[in-house]
Structure 1
């Protein structure tokens, strides 16, 4: 009888806790959907400030604006963390055409890849050789590549439902293509945009020359998917065509910038820190609404939603808007270095950097014990159609915090439209749906609430 009473008492306690969690999560979603502020914040960030390339005036304006927003939320502390960031500028708009015969040309949309050197002042014109990814260079060899422009035309795999998997499958040609092609004597590279649809928007993104000497670096540009199809088809009909492109981008000395940080101090375990964030910088072609203005305003909204629903965190919850994810990760690295230097104990970190689309769930970088705890919360999210809980990656900016005692997580929205906009001129405010953005903020807040309430499972290591 005594054992039975203990069991009944335990079940009653668990039921009460679940009901309390259900109520708090419902309050979070209701507040987000009725009184959400993130969409208005994003409107200002996107339409009044615009693209926020690291080291730019716009990036600094974004720092000042988001600090002002966090100051208005009545947080316990808001501050700026200095970060030195690379400064690359695009210059005047790029121009390109393919020339099938002297005087017969077709213009194609291109954009310089972030970090690329410029072409010669008057532009660069040369024969073209097409390869299906970096692995195609060796098969051709120096004899067929030297003095030519290499056209990397490996498309994203359309058969993957997880489009980020498709992106990872061919991003190396954008990042390392110029460095690898230069080894075979190429004079320039053109890279197919990382985009699953056919359109006229070239997609920029970071590239690296590795240890290639400065004088041996060759210009690199992305071509739109429609342009890539045209170039590939034309090459099949006439392998002797010329390709011309002109860009005058340059790298300037590193610039001063900041991570923007705000926190609510924990009432019970103030030394246990939980981070939620996104990256404040973006590329310069659009206004960075999906990548990653959405993640920034959702992260700020997490603290507002907790306060608006009357929840007092047990642990310190900190919003970090990281600077320079796109072309250096300096913000994430600096934050982790400073945290280690101060001896801070981070137990959980969540990043939103996959667009402001409908949330589907989370991916977790953690041990099995903590993942099992998360799976136990799954029923709390199912009424909101949040069903995806996977072990996998989290976010680039929070990655430097990784150790055996922290749980890292990434918000996973529906990814089917993300690469239509990623790093392109159409990553703009009108392509963000207000309700989807608010649902994402509520979903993030709910996970933060649960980890704050129950903590992380201690590592067995």
Structure 2
């Protein structure tokens, strides 16, 4: 009988624990959906400030705006963490055409890749060599590549359901294509935009020359998917056609910028840190709403929800808006470096950098024991249609904080439309759904609540 009574007491205790957490979840989702601030913050970042390229005036405005908004929340501390960032400027709008005969040209849509050098003054025209990746290029050798514009035309694989996996399968041609083509004497590079959508919008993104000498650094641009198909079809009919493009981008000296940080000090374990964040910088073609204004607004909302609902965290909660994720990760590296110097114990780091679409769950960089803990928490999330809990990559900005004893995580929204907008001119506020954004913020806050209450 004693054993039975003890068992019943334990069950009742567990039932009360689960019900209490369920009630907190409900209050978090209700507060985010009925009186949240994430959509308002994103509106201002997107429509009043706009694209926030590292080192730009808009990036500076975003730093000041988000710092002021965090100060209004009544957090225990808000500060700016200085970091030197690269300053690349696009210059005049790029122009390109396919020349299929004397005086016969077809205009196409391109944009310079971030970090690229400019074309010669007046533009660059040369024969085109189409390849499906870096390995194919290298197999051709210098004799066939020298003097050509290399056209990388490997699309994202459409039958891969996880679109980030499809992106990862071809991003190397954008990032390292110009470096590898330059080694073989090419004069320029054109890369098919990394999107599953067929449209006329070129998608930019970072690229590198590695240690290539300046004399071998060649201009690199993205071409829209529709125009990539057009160029490929025209090359099949006439391999001797030429391609012309003109871009005036420049790499300037590094400038000072900042990570924006705010925190609520923990009541029981102030030296255990839980952080939530996104990256404040964006590319310049759109206004960076999905990538990653949304993640910043959601991360700010997590701490606002704790304040709004009177949830007093046991551990120190920090929001970090990282600078320079897009073309250098300088902010993430600086934050991790200072955290290590101060011997700060970051037990859990959560990043939102996959768009503002409907949240599906999380991906964790963790051990088996933590995944077992997550399995016990899944019933709390299921009423909100959050079912995806998998091990994998967390996020570029929190990854430098990973140790053998902590957990890094990434919010995983539905990704099927993300690459329609990624790094393109249509990454704008009108393509963000208010409810989806707020659901994401609530989902993040709910996980942070559990981590703070029970640890990892």
Shorter-chain TM band:
over 0.9
2:321 is aligned to 321
Kindly report which structure 2 residues correspond to 1:102-141, keeping only aligned pairs within 5 A, or say none: 102-141=102-141
Q: Deviations over 1:429-459 (max 9, x none)?
A: 0000000000000000000000001001xxx
Aligned to 2:371: 371
Q: Figure out how many residues of one structure are paired with residues of the other and give that number.
A: 456
Counterpart secondary structure, 2:170: helix
For residues 182 and 214 of structure 2, the distance between their equivalents in structure 1, rounded to whole angstroms, comes to: 12
Q: 1:296-307 to 2 correspondence within 5 Å?
A: 296-307=296-307
Match of 1:272? 272
Question: Deviation of residue 9 (structure 1)?
Answer: 1.6
CA distance in 2: counterparts of 1:240 and 1:55, whole angstroms: 41
Partner of 1:75: 75
Q: What pairs with 1:14-413 in structure 2 (closer than 5 Å)?
A: 14-413=14-413
1:320-342 superposed Cα distances (whole Å, 9 cap, x missing partner): 00000000000000000001111
Q: Which runs of 4+ in 1 moved over 4 A?
A: none
Question: Which residue number corresponds to residue 426 of structure 1?
Answer: 426
The equivalent of 1:447 in structure 2 is 447
Distance 1:97 1:322 in 2: 38
5+ residue gaps, structure 1: 457-461
**How far apart are residue 145 of structure 1 and its match?**
1.1
C-alpha offsets along residues 97-118 of structure 1, whole Å, 9 cap, x if unaligned? Answer: 0000010000000000000000
Cα distance in 1, alignment partners of residues 222 and 314 from structure 2:
48
SS for the counterpart of 1:253 is: strand
Contact 2:55 2:87 in 1 (8 A): yes
RMSD between superposed Cα atoms in Å:
0.6
Q: CA offsets, 1:82-129, max 9 Å, x none?
A: 010011000000000000001000000000000000000010000000
Partners of 2:241 and 2:270 lie apart in 1 by 66
1:140-189 superposed Cα distances (whole Å, 9 cap, x missing partner): 22222110000000000000111000000000000000011112111000
* TM-score of the aligned structures, taking structure 2 as reference length: 0.99
**Whole-Å Cα distance in 2 between the matches of residues 28 and 321 of structure 1?**
22
Aligned counterparts of 1:58 and 1:49: Cα–Cα separation in 2? 6
CA contact 2:183–2:216 (8 Å) conserved in 1: no
* Aligned partner of residue 222 in structure 2, secondary structure: strand
- Matches of 1:141 and 1:80, distance apart in 2: 49
TM-score when scaled to structure 1? Answer: 0.98
